Chain A
Amino acid sequence: MEVTSTAMAGTLESSDCQVTVEPGTGIDLSIDSSVINQFGKAIKKTVLETLDRLDVKDAKVTVVDKGALDCTIKARVEGAVFRASGYSEDEICSGKKLPWGGAIR
């Protein structure tokens, strides 16, 4: 998937995480987390796996995590990537419909 614009998903509420995806070269990932001591590596792994699954090769990804569970982190990364790649719920506007049940698991 090609990241063409900057987009964001998620909030800074407790147990959520905010993911920002921007165009870039290669994967440039930065992570800030309230639970970095316990789950820094786990968060990084989840984010990289999700980007890989969505076939994102080039993007600058910024994660500000407030103790989100893995499922939440995956959903926020998916949300930000699809938004940054021109997908939307309204396919008439964008021409690209979100692949519920496909790439979005």
Chain B
Amino acid sequence: MKKVLATLLLSAMVLSYGFAEGQAEEEAVTLTGPVEIDVWTLFGGGEADAITAIIEDFNASQDLITAVEQRAGEGYYKKLITAYLGDTSPDVAICHLSSLPDYASKGMFMDITNTAPQELLDEIQPNILQGGYYDGQLYAIPLDTHPYVMYYNKDILAENNLDVPETWAEFEAAVMALRDKGLEDVNSYYAKGAGEQLWWGLYNQLGGTVESGSELVLDRATVLKTYEFFQDFRDKGIFRYIKYGDAEAMFLNGVSAFHTNGVWGQYAYNKTEGLNYGVTNIPVFDGAESATWGDSHSWVLPKNDDPQKVLAGLEFIKYVSENSVEWSKAGHFPVNTTVLASDDYKALPHKSEYAHVIDTVTLAPPVKGWAVLKDKFKDVMELFILGDLDAQGATDMLFEEIAAVYE
């Protein structure tokens, strides 16, 4: 009996010692040795070059962490899932905030509510950081936001003594005035894409709500109102069916006076000689609050059981955020408020013209399936702009499509 007691006591001591050790370790994790982290990005073209340059700067700035970038581009999220299933997830990865609920809800990313450095979170633009939360927990730290904005050709407006329209009524008047002067393609935009990007801004300007929950529940009356607005502009020939490439060509070649697209468009516009353009928020309905669609490239940490790599990943994310002036040159909107307020950033072309837009960005709601839903929104808009649907028909189709996604 004595022996048994002694053994029990001993094991209890050993266990409690081990437990205390473990706890102490958890509290005191610091970055010790050299760590290599895998970083997955999904960018192409100028964006890819910009992020690679920042990653190289990060590696040169210190000796402890080496970030190895993998450009996972096309089919990105499928690769992310496959890597997760094969237990070969990267340590840090980009994820669009609009897609976050799909993966966070399946447990693919780490909950970083308690590990993310507070001093970094304090720097991030609040309405964008909000999108990094799912179900009350933080899963993503935004790198940027890329809202939908309005570009205008300064030369065309000046020649015709027109001001930049603030409201949709003013926008209509300006388009009509230009058309009366014989200009045909006054307004260019990617018609199908407007089904998500322009439409979502208008839905929010009109006070449309989204019920809380993991499925998208919209308010039918407001949806109908948005399509009625589109119908009015479609019937007046202001919104026509234009493909992305054509819309970009129209603005780049100085054909269209107004052009709506995401902030990323600037990357090409800035390189176009002779294009004298300005950029501001999309027009607003009379008396409504400004709102526009925006998404965000954010950093997530796929499941990782190595605390060193988690720490290194967060350190990396912090560095990139603090050095996102370079990133903004590729066209995106940094969300680090210190960067936004810096002279370096403000000195970049056009940035101060639309600085106010960031406060009006309305991210996709935290529902599952946005990546699928947005394609449905675009399908509805394409049929609608082509004249196959009226406002009521578009509303009905949209609700049917949403219901089908959640079946």
Q: Do A and B bind each other?
A: no
Tell me the B residues contacting A by CB distance below 8 Å. Answer: none
